[in-house]
Chains A and B, each alone.
Chain A
Amino acid sequence: MLREALVVDGTAKTCRGVIAGLERGMTDLEPGDVVLAIVEDIPTRLEVYAWAQRKSHRVVEERRRGAGYVMYIAKGPGNHVPVLTPTWGEPERANHEMTEVPRSPGARA
């Protein structure tokens, strides 16, 4: 069971969206800390995956919530949590792999 250090609720009717909330929220966290993001639509889910990949964070768990998703994102770089890796641009292949990412020096379990 993952324990989140921060919750970013994209279903709240605020002008600032999930990515902005994640960017601001991640700043004060340590590598390996987990943020829970609640997203309510597909474009934002795609965006969170792309953003996490670009920033070396990792989506480590994901669940459906109504029409939306609850996403657990571990701050990068590196820890021992299995990562959900999208296969960008290759839709005919298996759509994800579980990958064990080696712990980086100083990262918390």
Chain B
Amino acid sequence: MMLMVSVQNLDEANEAVAGGADIVDVKNLREMVIGSNFPPVIREVRRAFPPPLHVSVTLGVVPNQAGTVALAVYGAGALGATSVKVGFIQSDYPTALRILRESRRALDGFDTKLIAATFADSHLYDGIDPRRVVDLARESDSDGVLVDTLVKDGRNLFDFLDEPTLHGLVMAGKELGMSTALSGTLQVSNLSQLVRINPDIVGVRGAVCTRGDREGGAVDSSAVAHLKDELRQRLVGQIDVYAGTAPRLPTIPA
């Protein structure tokens, strides 16, 4: 499982990578709390962290304008982003699908992966059912899926979608050959649930910021390292996330 840390600038990217982040996700909190950052910032981060380090770009919540979005997606490809996330809130399924298909076409010739994103709390905004994200990705030939939240009021992903639902989405995505990512005000206290669900990527920001403040604080390398170690302990079984409920598998000598 890879750890993705949202950053706003190169300083935060340096902190994230020093703490062990596998992916730095460049965004701009001043635009719709998960909006797009400016091309010079993305370029600067990418130059500092070339492949194989992953630098993803979020477009946040996109307008219902396929051409505008496709051009922004093209920009992410031209900047060398590992992936670009296109999220939908006040949109309908056919419109979102059309936007993703045009985004797919815009990435022709680039290595950048296209990620379809929905929001677990989209019912608050009369948006797309987040459980349709795998359908959207499959029909648009996207490379992966992300389920995030928009509200940043203390509620998180698990306040809107339960563990079995998220596990079902993750497995459906994986079985279609997609990468799968979960995000949305996730904390250390959520790690056991996340490890049981086992998405390919877990995204955080507030949990690794100074004072735990995703907007007023800044990404801190020691907080990233702490969260990464908590995650590792659960992945290798030093902390039992199954509490005795897991199926017993063959014991293999070390």
Interfacial residues, chain A to chain B (CB-CB below 8 A): 13, 15-17, 19-21, 23-24, 40-47, 49-51, 62-64, 67, 69, 84, 86-91, 93, 95-96
Knowing A20-B178, A41-B235, say if A49 contacts B252 (CB, 8 Å).
no
- How long is the Cα–Cα vector from A51 to B167 in the complex, in angstroms? 13
Interfacial residues, chain B to chain A (CB-CB below 8 A): 1-2, 22-23, 52, 54, 82-83, 113, 143-144, 171, 173-181, 195-196, 198, 200-201, 235-237, 241, 244, 246-254
**The residue from B175, B179, B249 contacting A45, defined by CB atoms under 8 A apart:** B249
Grouping DSSP codes into helix (H, G, I), strand (E, B) and loop, the A interface class, with mixed when no group exceeds half, is mixed
**The residue from A15, A63, A67, A69 contacting B2, defined by CB atoms under 8 A apart:** A15
Extra pairs beyond A17-B174, A17-B180 (6, CB < 8 Å): A21-B177, A43-B195, A47-B174, A49-B247, A84-B249, A87-B248
- How long is the Cα–Cα vector from A69 to B254 in the complex, in angstroms? 9
Closest 6 CB pairs of A and B: A15-B179, A95-B248, A41-B235, A19-B174, A43-B198, A96-B250
- How long is the Cα–Cα vector from A42 to B247 in the complex, in angstroms? 11
CB-CB nearest in chain A for B244: A91
Chain A neighbourhood of B253, CB < 8 A: 64
Pairwise interchain contact A13-B249, C-beta atoms closer than 8 A? no
CB-CB nearest in chain A for B22: A13
CB-CB nearest in chain B for A98: B250
Chain A neighbourhood of B198, CB < 8 A: 43-44, 47
Chain A neighbourhood of B181, CB < 8 A: 15
- How long is the Cα–Cα vector from A63 to B132 in the complex, in angstroms? 38
Chain A neighbourhood of B180, CB < 8 A: 17
- How long is the Cα–Cα vector from A96 to B143 in the complex, in angstroms? 36
**The residue from B54, B179, B251 contacting A95, defined by CB atoms under 8 A apart:** B251
Pairwise interchain contact A17-B22, C-beta atoms closer than 8 A? no
- How long is the Cα–Cα vector from A58 to B195 in the complex, in angstroms? 24
Knowing A41-B236, A51-B175, say if A15 contacts B144 (CB, 8 Å).
yes
Pairwise interchain contact B176-A16, C-beta atoms closer than 8 A? no
Pairwise interchain contact A13-B236, C-beta atoms closer than 8 A? no
- How long is the Cα–Cα vector from A1 to B82 in the complex, in angstroms? 39
Knowing A62-B250, A69-B252, A95-B248, say if A16 contacts B178 (CB, 8 Å).
yes
Q: Give min CB distance, A90 to chain B, whole Å.
A: 8
- How long is the Cα–Cα vector from A90 to B54 in the complex, in angstroms? 41
Q: Give min CB distance, A28 to chain B, whole Å.
A: 13
Chain B neighbourhood of A62, CB < 8 A: 250, 252
